Chain A
Amino acid sequence: MTLSRLRIIAGLGIPFFAVLVPMPWLSSSALTVGGFPVALVWIFVCLPLTSFCMALAWMSEDHQHPDED
């Protein structure tokens, strides 16, 4: 697998998977974490997770593009 494909998986694939795949189950669930619905907790966890994923993509390749200056 090329580095370019890896950065798309890290920067785009993981955030979409993290938000969309568990959503149907979590948002219908009465499960709680610390007294709060698990769907709420998870969507808020996805915020820093998305930044982290894009930072991974950036560190893997994107900061090296000479044509972006």
Chain B
Amino acid sequence: MASAVFAAVIILSFVVAFFSRRNHGRQDSRDFFTASGQFGGVLVFLLTVGETYSIGSIMGFPAAAMKQGIPFIDWFLGYIVLAYPVGYFLNPLLWKAGRVWNALTFADLFRTYFRSRFLEVIVAVSAILFMLPLGELQMAGILTAISEFHWPVSSVTITAGAALLTFSWLALSGVRAPAWVAAIKDTIVIVAIVLIAVAVLRDSSWHALAAASRAMPLSTAQGNVYAVTTIITQALGFCVAPQTIAFIFTAKSARIVRRNQIVMPLYMLMFPLLLLSSLYAGATGLPMDAKNSVFISVAAALLPSWGLGLVAAACVLSGLVILAGICLSIGSLVSRNLVQGLSDARQKDCARLVITFCLIFSVFAAMRFSALMPVLTTMFYLGVIQLFPAILCMVRSVPVAAAFVTAGFLAGETVSLALAFFSVPTGGVNAGFIGLLVNAAIVFTGYRVGAASAGVIADPHLTLRSGNKVC
């Protein structure tokens, strides 16, 4: 029964992806990458909020909460919830910049504003390198979720099937497919979390769950420094992640983008229910098959067979939707920013080819480098946050020369990665935060010395300050 429910959901996702191309059979690259900026509030919301309930959140949050306790819960929920107010002010400006400068990727913004091919290439290459491990992470989560079925198939077959499904979605209708599939995914995720929460509350006493929560590790002084600096770093980084910016460009208006941000923290109210599965596992000493399988193991212990199928499908769809977004984002960066001068049709072909390579890499990496990838994944925010000072300069029309922005970006990346890779003691301060300070100091110096005028657009009609004319 579990397998039948799982298969039905996966088939449904394909059907939805197929119908998402209705009236958009002949897509140009703008429609393929950003749905021609035609999405209304609900689809933009589902796309941009998707990472809140990624497979990493659904499976990783209960497992890490159980193991690491209060410090983990604080920084994990803290950075996501604070990313929304940052996005409330920043995302509408990014949307306007995208419209004014005709951008489909974040690197298009860099090219137009700073007029530096070198800067465009290094930010695009960095973003691709930081996003690739995230794809593998989704595959690893999918393998863990499907392993509960104990099917007699190899890991390669499962990941290859997941890659094929993701490719078919994107090939059918570009970004429209993951947006529509996200609607199914989020519905099923919410149903799955509520089902497990109800089952936990029926099977366990409130006192036992409260006792399990009190048994969680508390934070230390150094842990607090880490939590606060990590929350700031990741809350800012969340808003400038390449795939998030691409999703913002799908919106019809800046008003939609801003209004959506208000609702997003309420969407996080599933996390207390998700935490119940960790508390239940802690209270009952539930045996686990794998380190990230708390959520699935609790589902297997408490839900009927069809419920387990639904939970596994929710986890797998969560992984696939994020994987699709990452692949699409990498495809657009390569076809528009690394390879230059492609015609509209060739951009789409090039993106499809790149998406294929990304998916093959994800399958290969899930088989070969599964131990290394979580380390690389933690690097994602260390690297992505270094885009923040430059993006702030763009959306606030701060005149800083490309040379200073490039130097700041490279210095920030180098400092944060060196501190993290060589485990340099920082007193608990997040390495990305230190890199960000170095980066911001260099960009600020560029602003102060007034060396900007040579490389920055000075057209007042391109100013993006809120309330000013934008075109």
Specify which chain A residues have a CB less than 8 angstroms from the CB of B269 in the assembled complex. 44, 47-48
Q: B24 contacts the other chain (Cβ, under 8 Å)? A: no
Question: Known: A15-B82, A35-B207, A43-B74. Is A27-B227 also a contact (CB below 8 A)?
Answer: yes
A50 & B89 in contact (Cβ 8 Å cutoff)? no
Task: Output the nearest chain A residue to B211 by Cβ-Cβ distance.
Answer: A35
Given pairs A28-B224, A43-B78, 6 additional interface contacts (CB within 8 A): A23-B74, A27-B219, A39-B218, A68-B92, A68-B253, A69-B255
Task: Output the nearest chain B residue to A51 by Cβ-Cβ distance.
Answer: B265
A65 & B86 in contact (Cβ 8 Å cutoff)? no
B253 & A28 in contact (Cβ 8 Å cutoff)? no
Interface size on A, residues (CB 8 A): 38
A54 & B74 in contact (Cβ 8 Å cutoff)? no
A25 to B402, CA, bound (A): 42
Question: B231 is contacted by which of A19, A47, A62 (Cβ under 8 Å)?
Answer: A19
A29 & B218 in contact (Cβ 8 Å cutoff)? yes
A9 to B373, CA, bound (A): 39
A38 to B258, CA, bound (A): 31
Q: Which of B120-128, B317-325, B462-470 lies at the interface with chain A?
A: B462-470
Specify which chain B residues have a CB less than 8 angstroms from the CB of A8 in the assembled complex. 89
Closest beta carbon of chain B to A24's beta carbon, Å: 4
Task: Output the nearest chain B residue to A53 by Cβ-Cβ distance.
Answer: B85
Which of B240-278 touch A at CB < 8 Å?
A: 253-255, 258-259, 261-266, 268-269, 271-272, 275
Specify which chain B residues have a CB less than 8 angstroms from the CB of A69 in the assembled complex. 253-255
Question: A28 is contacted by which of B220, B254, B265 (Cβ under 8 Å)?
Answer: B220
Closest beta carbon of chain A to B122's beta carbon, Å: 30
- Contacts from B to A (Cβ < 8 Å): 70-71, 73-74, 77-78, 81-82, 84-86, 88-89, 92, 96, 206-207, 210-211, 213-214, 216, 218-221, 223-224, 227-228, 231-232, 253-255, 258-259, 261-266, 268-269, 271-272, 275, 466-470
B81 & A37 in contact (Cβ 8 Å cutoff)? no
Task: Output the nearest chain A residue to B253 by Cβ-Cβ distance.
Answer: A69
A3 to B470, CA, bound (A): 22
Question: A15 is contacted by which of B74, B81, B92, B255 (Cβ under 8 Å)?
Answer: B81
Specify which chain A residues have a CB less than 8 angstroms from the CB of B206 in the assembled complex. 35
Question: Known: A16-B85, A27-B227, A36-B213. Is A48-B71 also a contact (CB below 8 A)?
Answer: no
B210 & A35 in contact (Cβ 8 Å cutoff)? yes
Specify which chain B residues have a CB less than 8 angstroms from the CB of A27 in the assembled complex. 70-71, 74, 218-219, 223-224, 227
- Contacts from A to B (Cβ < 8 Å): 8, 11-12, 15-16, 19-20, 23-24, 27-30, 32, 34-37, 39-40, 43-44, 46-48, 50-51, 53-55, 57-58, 62-63, 65, 67-69
Specify which chain B residues have a CB less than 8 angstroms from the CB of A65 in the assembled complex. 254-255, 466-467
A12 to B224, CA, bound (A): 21
Specify which chain A residues have a CB less than 8 angstroms from the CB of B85 in the assembled complex. 11-12, 15-16, 50, 53-54
**Across the A-B interface, the 10 shortest Cβ-Cβ residue pairs:** A35-B210, A27-B219, A24-B224, A68-B255, A68-B254, A50-B265, A54-B262, A51-B265, A47-B265, A15-B85
A51 & B228 in contact (Cβ 8 Å cutoff)? no
Closest beta carbon of chain B to A58's beta carbon, Å: 6
Specify which chain A residues have a CB less than 8 angstroms from the CB of B96 in the assembled complex. 67
B92 & A34 in contact (Cβ 8 Å cutoff)? no
Question: B89 is contacted by which of A12, A19, A24, A68 (Cβ under 8 Å)?
Answer: A12
Specify which chain B residues have a CB less than 8 angstroms from the CB of A53 in the assembled complex. 85
A20 & B231 in contact (Cβ 8 Å cutoff)? yes
Closest beta carbon of chain A to B117's beta carbon, Å: 31
Specify which chain B residues have a CB less than 8 angstroms from the CB of A62 in the assembled complex. 258
A67 to B71, CA, bound (A): 42
Closest beta carbon of chain A to B102's beta carbon, Å: 17
A67 to B96, CA, bound (A): 9
A14 to B291, CA, bound (A): 37
Provide 25 A-B residue pairs closer than 8 Å at the C-beta atoms, listed in order of the A residue.
Answer: A8-B89, A15-B82, A19-B81, A20-B228, A24-B219, A27-B74, A28-B218, A28-B221, A29-B218, A32-B210, A32-B214, A35-B211, A36-B210, A39-B70, A40-B275, A43-B73, A48-B265, A48-B266, A51-B266, A54-B262, A55-B262, A57-B88, A58-B259, A65-B467, A68-B258
